[in-house]
Chains A and B, each alone.
Chain A
């Protein structure tokens, strides 16, 4: 065997993939040929190098998104698989028998979260689908403030337990009925008796989102005032006559979006889940413009369309809420998931960031223009095609609060640059750490947040004079892997800390104040580079000081032949941003009396969720 022949086989020899006779021949050649031996060693070294690359585990929420996607597609209809599992009235498979779903509803009524209900449907205790999200991975989301997915195995306990919200004894029946009529699509109604366990959210304060410069600062009220009720369906946000996003039931008589008249009931066809039933029907008497929107192909795109049309008075808030709820946004391109401790606070801060960006709530301006004759939840039909209502300048962007199961979903349509600047602002909000992101700018946001957090941890560690905790090391490693901080920037000789749990708790407690100092220079740096030259112009527009010749979104869609159609491709600079807010499940209202019972129930579904549950008391030590 000569060198050329040997080298043809040398990789296979290295991999033990040669038949014995050929392997012997190569071996004999190698013993006699130092050059080929050198090549073998070089390849061996390289293979080892590649083989030692760290594993990239699947990201948080992937299995849940797959579940949603699979549920969302009538896929089994094509293959004939699982027909028995499908409800006859629905276009997608039923993942739970109805009786179990009802039982799950009961459990939810008892204040037990999705995790348990799902697990209860699988007596083996193995919630097969999405419960990884609810167990190991998603319970570990809190940690991702300091780490990356590959470092999720270690818990990062939270020091602060969320407040226990007061809970009314029962829901408001009339409102629940009304919701059912709003989302009367059978698929929604029948399919998600328990899969839409989101409690109606009643923020204890006005978001004061629409009024723009004249709106006062957001003043969250006491968390004790937050009230919850069970609801089977996601709800559209109510906006009051001043365009403020408002607590629906908490403001009697102003929650019209939650109580539309029965004429608005949509009844999609049997497989109409794929078609949002926005059929023209009562457009004439309600002023509502309806459209047929196919959600199947590109759901995020559809949301964007309805978002735009709603923003300019061409579609109802209900239709927007409908299209933006459920799984339709699961695969939106620009997506952030925020894992927060306080839902109220996070939403308030987000709204403040939106306001700073010059964004308005969808429909707020129309209402602010005094169209009191229209139902609260209806965006009045745009008249004449001038694109603006009430003579007000267009907003730099629009946002809308939709609901998904167990989380709040903010949908934003805005200019790319504005979104980028919003990202910079977001990076400076310690309460709004990005737990997951789906596009590079948001990766950058998280990196920045991680770096700030780690620096704060380093500072604290130095103060404590302790050895660096495992968590810190993990976080630092994550940081180092993701970003290359110049050595000069790293805290030289930072004394490590030890005692992971205790130190972590203290870090948690001290992090915010540390961040306050740490974030400023880095943010200034990022912000300075992020702001394009036309920033002043943009800011002026955002502040309503100038007005473009025509609204960019106004011309995107045209209404003809009873159908809303894109008039032209969306401009490149308009993007849909989805921000999903997740929060730690509140303790049941009876927590003081039944702590043990509830704790055991919550710990049952999986180890990780149990660990998360236990982390709060552990943090107190």
Chain B
């Protein structure tokens, strides 16, 4: 369950940061390569769409680069970057109503079909992976932002409580209670799925 967290390598990160600081700007590319998937996956789950996730992750990297001079290594680089990304994802609001191309793929209410409604699940009908994902994603999106963050960081990114606390800058005890409340709320929303 700790596969993501375990692969972070603080020593390598510090070395890369030092290289960037010494003028080897392209070392930042290695940082981007190293973290882009994890950050993107995290932010995608926070905001629920690719477009905003891409923008936010890009912003995260740019901000990281901009502020690298103030990075003191007190926390790990990934904690620092996750903090930027998660805060961006949590404070994010959809900036604009995007262009609409009315498409046969859209649901009747105009909402993309990807946003399936958990309440519409019939336990008798088997769901495929895409449907399941859509339902879970929607339920995630309905959680409070703080709760969504702990669920994503714990149950998707598999970070431990202390790492989550570092990222969110809250006590570990808060992570524990917030995560429990979040899971209960999520369980309520996903109950049809869990029964299925």
Contact = CB atoms under 8 A, between A and B. Distances in A.
A481 B130 contact: yes
Given A62-B54, A62-B57, A483 B96 contact: no
B29 A530 contact: no
- Which of B32, B53, B161 counts the most chain A CB atoms within 10 A? B32
- Which of B51, B70, B190 counts the most chain A CB atoms within 10 A? B51
A550 interface: no
Nearest to A421: B101
A521 to B, nearest CB: 10
A46 B187 contact: yes
Contacts of B131: 484
A390 to B, nearest CB: 31
Contacts, number: 229
B89 to A, nearest CB: 13
Contacts of B50: 56, 59, 443
B9 interface: no
A47 B183 contact: yes
Contact of B33 (A63, A333, A447): A63
B12 to A, nearest CB: 13
B78 interface: no
- Which of A10, A15, A67 counts the most chain B CB atoms within 10 A? A15
Contacts of A477: 130
A55 B156 CA distance: 9
A118 to B, nearest CB: 9
A53 B130 contact: no
Interface stretch (A122-130, A403-411, A512-520, A583-591): A122-130
A50 interface: yes
B161 A95 contact: no
A70 B28 contact: yes
A56 B161 contact: no
A267 to B, nearest CB: 26
Given A46-B186, A79-B67, A81-B69, A62 B136 contact: no
Interface string A34-53: 00000000110111011101
B26 A122 contact: yes
A522 to B, nearest CB: 7
A130 B40 CA distance: 16
A444 B101 contact: yes
Main secondary structure, interface of A, reads helix
Contacts of A621: none
Interface stretch (A107-115, A339-347, A367-375, A433-441): A433-441
B69 A79 contact: yes
A341 B190 CA distance: 45
Contact of B51 (A47, A439, A481, A529): A439
For this complex, into which size category does the number of interface residues on chain A fall? 35 or more
A352 interface: no
A93 B130 contact: no
B102 interface: yes
A486 to B, nearest CB: 10
Given A128-B30, A129-B26, A526-B104, A75 B66 contact: yes
A53 B156 contact: yes
B177 interface: yes
Contact of B57 (A58, A438, A451): A58
Contacts of A509: none
Given A331-B55, A333-B96, A530-B103, A484 B29 contact: no
B130 A81 contact: no
A132 B37 CA distance: 12
Interface stretch (A82-90, A207-215, A243-251, A307-315): A82-90
Given A81-B21, A95-B25, A128-B27, A73 B66 contact: yes
Contact of A69 (B27, B62, B101): B62
B149 interface: no
A423 interface: yes
B28 A129 contact: yes
A483 B113 contact: yes
B99 A420 contact: yes
B180 interface: yes
Given A15-B154, A51-B156, A334-B99, A448 B105 contact: yes
A33 interface: no
A65 B36 CA distance: 12
B25 A93 contact: yes
A49 B137 CA distance: 11
B51 to A, nearest CB: 5
A11 interface: yes
Given A50-B151, A424-B101, A59 B96 contact: no
Given A56-B40, A66-B62, A445 B25 contact: no
Interface of A: 7-8, 10-12, 15, 17, 42-43, 45-47, 49-51, 53-59, 62-63, 65-67, 69-70, 73, 75-76, 78-85, 93-95, 122, 126-132, 331, 333-334, 416, 419-420, 423-424, 438-445, 447-448, 451, 477, 480-484, 522, 525-526, 529-530, 575
User: Nearest 9 A-B pairs (CB), nearest first?
Assistant: A79-B69, A129-B29, A441-B101, A128-B29, A481-B130, A58-B36, A85-B23, A444-B103, A529-B102
15 contacts: A11-B176, A12-B180, A17-B176, A55-B37, A62-B36, A79-B68, A93-B25, A420-B101, A439-B98, A440-B49, A448-B104, A477-B130, A480-B128, A483-B113, A484-B130
Given A59-B40, A130-B29, 6 more contacts: A15-B161, A49-B136, A57-B37, A69-B62, A79-B69, A484-B105
